[in-house]
A and B are shown apart, each in its own frame.
Chain A
């Protein structure tokens, strides 16, 4: 965790020297990584959600409505509202979803996300329909950054929140709840005969996952400045699952690695083959699944293992 934090700190230092498109790309990668992180917490419990676009959209629209209806413009407050929207929605849907596993869990999430998509699309007099909603510039501690610094300000906001969220998620993963969700994946019967409740463990993890989804959506809305119903569409949810597999879910930093690589690959794939970029992404996922079933994060783990082995073998023998 510490080397990753050092890397992010270095990124924060060099950020002002990076081109604007890179800053935007990284901001979006961090925002989406939060949604994927939520997904990964569930994946560690053997639960796949094909509907996390729903929480992404809930967070984004919470920002849109807070600006439009309540006149709130403070970036941190808006992010908190996105998080709360995701948590609230997940706490309601989780009551039903925590009872389901496997395909049913995955498809029910998808169904709910498509219901939200239809609501966002059809209630156009409230949501703006297919046109979506514009998100105005946010303020930082009451100050409105100049246009030249706005992108950088959003980047630091997103980076800061991502660092806090990933550190907290790392802590959760090492807590009894974090282990119990893994235990539940392995053996629900044993969890029950330990005196713990599997549905409650799944419910708590699901709410946390929804909150992260909402947080990611709110940051994405602030960065892009516009929100559309497609945020809740199944292809968006599929993209999050794709990134989760790409990054790997053996560690909470997997989503971060996956999200950054995904945004970079998509960017360059689109640049070099604008009509077949999905083909390139598909090929990459195929290669990852075949050769790196643990995702990109497993490369890092392998490197650490090799280093440890090398350190032992190069030690002088007495």
Chain B
């Protein structure tokens, strides 16, 4: 198991606010990492820095040994890092199937193609199969705008998953989903990811979700990683639990 992602002294200022403070993190191949911390602790900023959404003020990011610091999202994605968003980023004017077909065409390097049809049999078959894995059956012809929040979250992840990434970063995949449906959403996600070997890091507020699904947990506070280890060990410490919940 080698190092897939490595950040060194990663720092980001937004004006005078230090959103990421000297982050030095290593993610190994095949890990399932939960990223937790109170609001404003820098979890999403960490994902944004890795995926090129914002450039770091200083520090470096290496992915498979290659320096990817400050590369734009398009290039980062092409290198094999995909992400989902806290607020699902979908094509609301297209149907569920069309969203997936666009993802598959882009993955195949066909985004410049203006001659062959987007809907060919093979691509449609694969799209339906991936959507099926994420629980989409009757909804594939529906406009995205008509989906429930949980379904949108799943579709957002499904689009990222369809790119066949090596590293998948999920930003709060269960936020906005009812407490009852949270585990159902995560069961679906982890079920799909299991066996694919995709290294996954997910930002999460619900410590029960992290406890159940993550193999390793990074605890963020004020832009720093203050703890890194197995969830069951870290969550056994009441003080750490307080920090994560923002009550400590």
A residues sitting closer than 8 Å to B (CB atoms) are 171-172, 174-180, 182-183, 185-187, 189-190, 192-197, 200-201, 204, 208
Contacts and interface: CB of A to CB of B under 8 A. Distances in A.
Interface in B79-133: 82-83, 85, 89-94, 98, 101-103, 105-107, 110-119
Contacts of B35: none
A192 B113 contact: no
Given A172-B115, A186-B92, 16 more contacts: A171-B114, A171-B117, A172-B114, A174-B118, A176-B106, A176-B110, A177-B111, A177-B114, A180-B105, A183-B94, A189-B73, A190-B159, A192-B72, A193-B73, A193-B83, A195-B111
Counting chain A CB atoms within 10 Å of each CB, the highest count among B78, B101, B114, B117 belongs to: B114
A183 B163 contact: no
A88 B105 CA distance: 28
A180 B108 CA distance: 14
A124 B106 CA distance: 49
B73 to A, nearest CB: 4
Given A195-B77, A196-B74, A179 B102 contact: yes
Interface of B: 51, 72-74, 77-78, 82-83, 85, 89-94, 98, 101-103, 105-107, 110-119, 159-160, 163
Contacts of A177: 111-114
Contact of A186 (B73, B78, B83, B94): B94
A194 B72 contact: no
Given A187-B92, A189-B89, A176 B118 contact: yes
Contacts of A189: 73, 85, 89
A281 B83 CA distance: 49
Given A192-B73, A193-B73, A193-B83, A176 B114 contact: yes
Contacts of B85: 189
A190 B91 contact: yes
A176 B113 contact: yes
Contacts of B160: 193
Nearest to B115: A175
Contacts of B163: 194-195
Given A180-B111, A192-B77, A195-B74, A175 B118 contact: yes
A175 B89 CA distance: 22
B113 A185 contact: no
A175 B115 CA distance: 6
14 contacts: A174-B119, A175-B116, A176-B102, A176-B111, A177-B112, A177-B114, A182-B91, A186-B91, A187-B91, A192-B72, A194-B102, A194-B103, A194-B106, A195-B77
A190 B89 contact: yes
A217 B11 CA distance: 55
Nearest to B75: A195
Counting chain A CB atoms within 10 Å of each CB, the highest count among B77, B91, B105 belongs to: B91
A230 to B, nearest CB: 33
A196 B118 contact: no
B91 A193 contact: no
Nearest to A181: B114
A201 B78 CA distance: 16
B156 to A, nearest CB: 8
Contact of B93 (A172, A175, A186, A200): A186
B101 A179 contact: yes
Nearest to A194: B106
Contacts of B73: 189, 192-193
A199 to B, nearest CB: 10
Contacts of A178: 114, 118
Nearest to B111: A196
A200 B112 contact: yes
A179 B110 CA distance: 11
A204 B112 contact: yes
Contact of A196 (B93, B98, B106, B114): B106
Contacts of B72: 192
Contacts of B112: 176-177, 200, 204
A192 B81 CA distance: 12
Contact of B115 (A171, A182, A190, A200): A171
A180 B89 contact: no
Nearest to A205: B114
A51 to B, nearest CB: 23
A182 B160 CA distance: 19
